[in-house]
Structure 1
C-alpha cells in the first residue's frame, strides 16, 4: 500500500512539474516575442538595448517565475515597460461576444467611447466677464459629425474676450483633431508638429487647416494641464506653448509623445507599440518622458481659478469699456471670496 501511495505521489509530482514547465515555456515565449517585436518596431531605437536588458533580467526573478496567470504576468511586465515608455504596454486581445445580436465586441476602443460620449466635449461655457471655457477629455477622430461638434463649440466661444481650454483630464487621441481645433486659433498657415515613422522611415508634417468658423488668432488662451494630461492633449499644449500662443497652467503632463499601434504577440496577447515619434518644428524634440512643463506650476485642482484670475487681470489691463471693467472687478471679487 505504501509503495502504491508513493508511486501516486511521484506521479502527481511529475504532473505538477510538467504543468509548471509548460507555464515557464509560455512565459518565456511571450517575453521572447515581446523582445523581438520591440527590436523590430519600437521607434526610440536608442532605448531598445536597455529595455531588452531589463526584460531579460526580469525573466530571471522570483516574481516572474511565480506569476501564476496572464494577469499577474501582464502586471509585472507592464510595470517594467512603463519605466521606459508610458505608451508601451501589454494587454489581452479582446474576445468577440456572440451571445447577443450576433457578433459584438465587449471591448470599446478609445475612439468608439469618444464618439458615443459627445466626442469628449463636456463643457462649453461663458464665465462672468466674458471669459470662455472649453473642457473635453479626448481628441476624437475627425469625421463630419465631430467637425460639426467642434464648430458648434467654437461658435459659442467666438466672441469670448479670453479662452481657457481645460485638458486636465484629457487622455489624448487623434492628431488630426489637434490640427483642426488648433486651426481656430491661428490664422496663418502654421506648422504645428511632425511625426517620424519607423515603419516607413518618413516624416509627416501637420499644419493648420481651413476651418468653417471664425478664427481667433489674437484671443488670449490659457491651457490647463495635470499629470493625467496625455498623448494628443500633450501635443496640443506643447505646440501652443512653443508657438507662444498660450499660457500653460497646472502640473507637468504625463509624458507620452509617440503614436502607437497594437501588435499581436500571441492569439491572446498584444502590445501597444510606439512606432512613430513626434518632432516639434520649434524645439526639434518632444515631451516624451518629461511631459509638458507649465508656465505656471500649480496643483491641478487650483489651475482653473488661477487661469481665470490671470485672464481677468489681463482683460482689466486692456479693456476700455466701463461696463466690461465693472464685470471684471465683480468677477475678481467673487473669485477672491471663494478662497
Structure 2
C-alpha cells in the first residue's frame, strides 16, 4: 500500500529559511525540473501541460528575473502553478542547505529519516493536542494532524478506548492540516461501523490503478457504535482530515459542524526539484464511492454552517440535546437539563475588530492572520481603500497575537508598537474588549 504525506513535507527535516541569492541558471533549472515532474507524475496530465505553457510564458516575460532569494522564488512558482490548477497541495519549498538525496524518491523515506520521523511524531503526541470527556459525558479529541498506524496504532486504539463509555464523540479537525498516511483514516473510521464499509477510492496516476479503502471488521478494543459523532471543521481543515469528514458525512455516520474546509483531495508526497528546492507533488486523487467525486477545490460542506470558533459550543449543545432525548435515566435527564441551560448561557462572545495597514500599493493580496482566526491566511482578506488596506473581522474578548500577510510574506503591524514573542516568533498584539 502506498504511503502519502498530506500535511508535513518530511517535517522532521529542518529546512533553513535563510535568504540566499539565486542565479538565473538555478532558477531555470528549478523551472525545468518542476515542468518535468508535473508532466511525468501530476495526477492530471492535461493540466500539467497547461502549467508548463504558463511557466514558459513567465520565463519569456522575464517574470522571475528580479526574484533573487529562494523563499520568494519558491512562493512565486507555487502561486503561478496554483493559478492554473488551483491545487492547494502543490507547494514549492526552498532550503538553504542541500536536501537529503532520498527526498528525490517520492512517497519513500530512508531508514535514518524514519527514525527521526518517529521521534518527531512521539514528541507531537501523534497529532493529538487534547483528549478529554466534556460535561454531559461527551468525548472530545482534538487533532492537528493524523499519522500512520505503524507509528500511532496503539496510541489511537487507547484513545478510542478512553472515550468508549461516552454518549457522544466530538472530533475536532479545525486545526488539522491532514493525514500523513493512507492507513489512518480507515483505521479510525473502523470504530464507527459494525460491518466492513467502503469509505473511499484513491486513483494513482503511476500504474494507472485505483486503490479501494474499506473499514476493518476487527479493531483493537471496542467499537464506537450507535452513538453520535460530530466533526468540527474550519477553512484550515485540509486533505486527509477532509477525507475523513467527507467519508463519514456521506455515509451518514457523522454530523459536520463549522466552516467549509480547505478543499484538497489530491494526495501525493515530497520530491526533490533541485538540490535546494523541493515540491509537494499530488500524484493521485480521491473518488468517493457514493458521490463519485471529491472535495477538491470546493471543500467539505458542513451540515451545520457556523463560525469555526463557535463550532465546539454548538456540537456540545447538540450532543447533550441528543442525550436528553434518548436517555431513560431520570436522574441523568435532570442533570442534562441543568447542563444544557448552563451551556446556553456560555456561548463564546465575538466582537468586531477592524485592522488597517497603510501603503503596499503594489501588493496583490494582504490578509490579517492571528489566534482569532487560527492563523488562516485567507479568513480575513483585506481590501484596498485609497492608500490603506482594511478588513473587519471578529474575535473573542482578550489578548490576541497577529501578523499581516503581504503577498505571502508575514510582517508585523508597522503601526502597532505592542509586540509579544510566542514559539520563537515575534507578533503584533491586539486587545479585544
TM-score bracket for this pair, using the shorter chain length: 0.7 to 0.9
Deviation at 1:304, TM superposition (A): 0.2
Corresponding residue of 1:217: 225
Is this contact kept in 1: 2:89–2:280, CA < 8 A? yes
Corresponding residue of 2:211: 204
Match of 1:262 among 270, 273, 276: 270
Match of 1:86 among 85, 88, 92: 88
Indicate yes or no: 2:318 matched with 1:315: no
Alignment of 1:1-339 (within 5 A): 23-61=23-61, 63-83=63-83, 84-92=86-94, 95=98, 113-143=120-150, 146-173=152-179, 174-209=181-216, 210-339=218-347
Q: Which digits, 9 at most, give the CA deviation of each residue in 1:44-96, with x for residues without a partner? A: 23422332233233334454220012222112111223342111111135647
User: Aligned to 1:256, what secondary structure does the other structure show?
Assistant: coil
More displaced stretch, 26-35 vs 268-277? 26-35
Deviation at 1:216, TM superposition (A): 2.0
* Uncovered stretches (5+) of structure 1, i.e. residues with no partner: 1-19, 98-103
C-alpha separation between the residues in 2 aligned to 1:90 and 1:167?
25
C-alpha separation between the residues in 1 aligned to 2:135 and 2:273?
54
**TM-score, with normalisation over the residues of structure 1?**
0.85
More displaced stretch, 111-120 vs 248-257? 111-120
More relative contact order in 1 or in 2 (CA 8 Å, sep 6+)?
Answer: 1
* Uncovered stretches (5+) of structure 2, i.e. residues with no partner: 1-20, 101-111, 348-433
Is this contact kept in 1: 2:33–2:273, CA < 8 A? yes
C-alpha separation between the residues in 2 aligned to 1:271 and 1:327?
54
User: Aligned to 2:171, what secondary structure does the other structure show?
Assistant: strand
Q: Which digits, 9 at most, give the CA deviation of each residue in 1:284-334, with x for residues without a partner? A: 111111111111111111000011111112222222211111221122112
User: Aligned to 2:148, what secondary structure does the other structure show?
Assistant: coil
Bigger proportion of residues as helix: 1
C-alpha separation between the residues in 1 aligned to 2:52 and 2:119?
34
C-alpha separation between the residues in 1 aligned to 2:271 and 2:135?
49
Deviation at 1:115, TM superposition (A): 3.0
User: Aligned to 2:309, what secondary structure does the other structure show?
Assistant: helix
Bigger proportion of residues as strand: 2
Is this contact kept in 2: 1:249–1:303, CA < 8 A? yes
Moved over 3 A (4+): 60-63, 93-97
Q: Which digits, 9 at most, give the CA deviation of each residue in 1:175-202, with x for residues without a partner? A: 2111111111111000111111111111
C-alpha separation between the residues in 1 aligned to 2:55 and 2:63?
13
User: Aligned to 1:168, what secondary structure does the other structure show?
Assistant: coil
Deviation at 1:112, TM superposition (A): 5.3
User: Aligned to 1:175, what secondary structure does the other structure show?
Assistant: coil
C-alpha separation between the residues in 2 aligned to 1:148 and 1:26?
45
Are the structure 2 counterparts of residues 274 and 132 from structure 1 closer, same or farther at C-alpha, using a change threshold of 3 Å? same
User: Aligned to 1:316, what secondary structure does the other structure show?
Assistant: helix
User: Aligned to 2:257, what secondary structure does the other structure show?
Assistant: strand
C-alpha separation between the residues in 2 aligned to 1:92 and 1:112?
24
More displaced stretch, 219-228 vs 324-333? 324-333
